[in-house]
């Protein structure tokens, strides 16, 4: 004899239009066994179930889908607005964790251009610390852990959003419990769907688009109907069958809605740029505005995504009403497997064919005669080709300034022809002199960037630095003007020598070609 309490529950659910598979999945999650559930369904005949079966039998051959798009959008908005609080809370969780992870495991953010210009020695000190192998592996491990944590949080939040959209009176605890319980099933379906969609795209793109529409509802089938694995793919395909173009049109509507709702988000970066360049809140604003705006955009995108989940849910409900609950595995499974694996097989065959064709192409034959008795150079009277970029053998003369003298024999002076310009890790960061030298080195690097640009635009290096220095930042100009800088360019403007004195390293030169 069926359980009266269970029978009444099923009857009430069916009268509300809840599909049988959803009722079964809910009861199984609550600990009921399959036999009592089947007995309860068989104990009575309900008009709602009969009506639903009749609707399914009369609409499987139609290509339209009810209700209309505007009605689905209105229903989605009512669903979203009635559950706004849980939707917003769940949408806030991924951006909050993402922002925290960014600051906890991303020390390289200190090397941004704004921080480097404001305090170049801080960036230099951080580079020295990160050069340790132990620190490098720690950073890599932290990035991997951060990626996994973010993936778990994003997946659980997505499951919780779908569950909240599909339940009449959801709670946050039940939503996150569902997320934890369905996490691995969610990942497995994600991998399966991605595998077959990618295989379809490899088979001339069109099958991939078809698969993408077929598998639109796999996560709704998993979370709301408790159908897992490959059966979820088959169930989603069975729902879309005979309604492919209607579903495709509604997917285009969801993309259009996403684009329209995301337009206001474009205003935030523009406002940030205007405030930063106008200097309204000072130079420190840019270092704070970036993360704040990224957080706001991420949060708003999550909330927009929650509304789109409600809209896709309405399409899913329409398909549930229009189609039977059976899963046709006889034709769908074989077709999906053939097209999916066929795409990868086709890609492998094409790759092998390309490698074979390229390898079989005839190699160009040399027109020069073979070497015989080492007489090749004598026969053709070849001599070594001079290097056009070689520094002149004649020492470059630089007129000394009253502030600094470069003895002709000192290593690193222009007459020695030695390029011994320091690297950024050559400076001690524990003394004031080392910090001043590092600031001087940064200014020289910026100067040489301007010289390299002139080599291309002006077809050569300038004879003096008078016009070049004016293009630098005021701080770099002041540093270079007080650095006893010596510069000379070769007569053909193809190379130059740049020398200056560092407090901690002495006289150093750079020869650029």
Tens-digit pLDDT profile for the chain (513 aa)? 677 777 878 877 777 667 776 787 778 777 777 778 877 777 754 444 443 443 333 334 345 677 788 888 999 999 999 999 999 999 999 888 887 877 665 544 444 444 444 445 555 555 555 555 666 777 778 778 888 988 999 999 999 999 999 888 888 899 999 999 999 999 999 999 999 999 889 988 888 899 999 999 999 999 998 888 888 998 898 888 888 898 999 999 988 988 888 887 777 777 767 766 655 555 555 556 667 777 888 888 888 989 999 999 999 988 888 875 544 544 567 878 888 888 898 889 999 999 888 888 777 665 555 545 444 444 444 445 555 444 444 444 444 433 333 333 334 444 445 677 777 556 666 677 888 888 888 888 888 888 888 888 888 888 888 888 888 888 888 888 877 788 888 888 888 888 888 888 888 888 887
Distance of alpha carbon 7 from its chain centroid, rounded? 50
Cα 14–chain centre separation: 44
CA distance 503 to 435: 10
Separation in Å, CA 18 to CA 72, 105, 215, 243, 320: 17, 46, 22, 21, 9
Q: Is 371 helix (H, G, I), strand (E, B) or coil?
A: coil
| pTM attached to this predicted model | 0.56
Contact between residue 40 and residue 10 where contact means Cβ atoms under 8 Å apart: yes
| Residue that has been written with the tokens 């079989």 in this structure | 360
Each as own residue / partner, the long-range contacts of residues 408-415 (CB below 8 Å, 24 or more positions apart, any chain) are 410/507, 412/499, 412/506, 412/507, 412/508, 412/509, 413/499, 413/507, 413/509, 414/486, 414/488, 414/497, 414/499, 414/509
C-alpha gyration radius of the chain: 35
Q: Which residues, in sequence order, are CB contacts of 436 under 8 Å at separation 6+? A: 503
Q: Is the dihedral of CA 24, 25, 30, 33 positive or negative?
A: positive
* Closest C-alpha among 489, 447, 485 to residue 467: 447
Please state, in angstroms and rounded to a whole number, the distance separating the CA atoms of residues 35 and 485: 91
Residue 460: left if φ>0, alpha if ψ -120 to 50, beta else—which one? left
Altogether, the residues listed in the chain come to a count of: 513
């Amino acid at each position: 004899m069926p359980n009266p309490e269970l029978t009444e529950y099923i009857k009430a659910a069916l009268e509300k239009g809840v599909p049988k598979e959803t009722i079964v999945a809910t009861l199984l999650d609550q600990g009921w066994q399959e036999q009592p559930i089947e007995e309860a369904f068989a104990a009575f005949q309900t008009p709602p179930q009969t009506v639903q079966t009749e609707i399914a039998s009369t609409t499987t051959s139609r290509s339209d889908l009810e209700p209309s798009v505007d009605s689905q959008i209105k229903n989605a908005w009512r669903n979203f607005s009635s559950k706004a609080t849980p939707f917003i809370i769940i949408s806030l969780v991924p951006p909050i964790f993402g922002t925290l992870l960014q600051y906890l495991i991303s020390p390289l953010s200190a090397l941004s251009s704004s921080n480097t210009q404001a305090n170049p020695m801080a960036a230099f000190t951080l580079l020295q610390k990160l050069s340790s192998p132990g620190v490098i592996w720690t950073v890599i491990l932290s990035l991997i852990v951060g990626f996994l944590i973010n993936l778990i949080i994003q997946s659980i939040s997505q499951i919780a959003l779908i569950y909240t959209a599909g339940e009449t009176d959801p709670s946050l605890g039940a939503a996150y419990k569902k997320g934890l319980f369905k996490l691995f099933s969610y990942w497995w379906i994600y991998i399966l769907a991605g595998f077959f969609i990618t295989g379809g795209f490899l088979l001339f793109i069109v099958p991939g688009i078809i698969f993408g529409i077929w598998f639109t509802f796999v996560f709704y089938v998993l979370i709301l109907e408790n159908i897992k694995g490959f059966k979820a793919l088959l169930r989603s395909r069975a729902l879309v069958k005979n309604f492919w173009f209607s579903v495709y049109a509604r997917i285009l509507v969801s993309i259009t809605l996403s684009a329209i709702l995301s337009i206001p988000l474009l205003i935030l970066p523009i406002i940030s740029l205007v405030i930063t360049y106008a200097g309204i809140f000072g130079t420190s604003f840019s270092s704070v505005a970036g993360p704040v705006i990224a957080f706001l955009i991420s949060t708003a995108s999550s909330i927009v995504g929650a509304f789109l989940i409600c809209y896709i849910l309405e399409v899913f409900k329409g398909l549930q009403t229009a189609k039977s609950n059976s899963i046709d595995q006889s034709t769908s499974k074989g077709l999906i497997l053939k097209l999916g694996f066929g795409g990868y097989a086709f890609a492998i065959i094409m790759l092998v064919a390309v490698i074979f064709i390229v390898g079989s192409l005839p190699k160009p034959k040399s027109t020069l005669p073979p070497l015989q008795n080492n007489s090749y150079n004598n026969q053709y009277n070849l001599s070594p080709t001079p290097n056009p970029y070689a520094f002149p053998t004649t020492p470059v003369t630089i007129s000394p300034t009253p502030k600094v003298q470069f003895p002709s024999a000192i290593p690193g002076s222009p007459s020695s022809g030695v390029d011994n310009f320091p690297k950024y890790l050559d400076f001690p960061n524990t003394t004031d002199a080392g910090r001043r030298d590092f600031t001087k080195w940064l200014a020289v690097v910026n100067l040489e960037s301007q010289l390299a640009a002139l080599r291309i635009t002006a077809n050569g290096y300038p004879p003096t630095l008078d016009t070049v220095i004016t293009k630098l930042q005021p701080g770099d100009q002041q540093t270079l003007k007080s650095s006893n800088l010596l510069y000379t360019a070769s007569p053909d403007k193809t190379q130059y020598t740049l020398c200056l004195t560092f407090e901690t390293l002495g006289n150093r030169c750079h020869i650029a070609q």
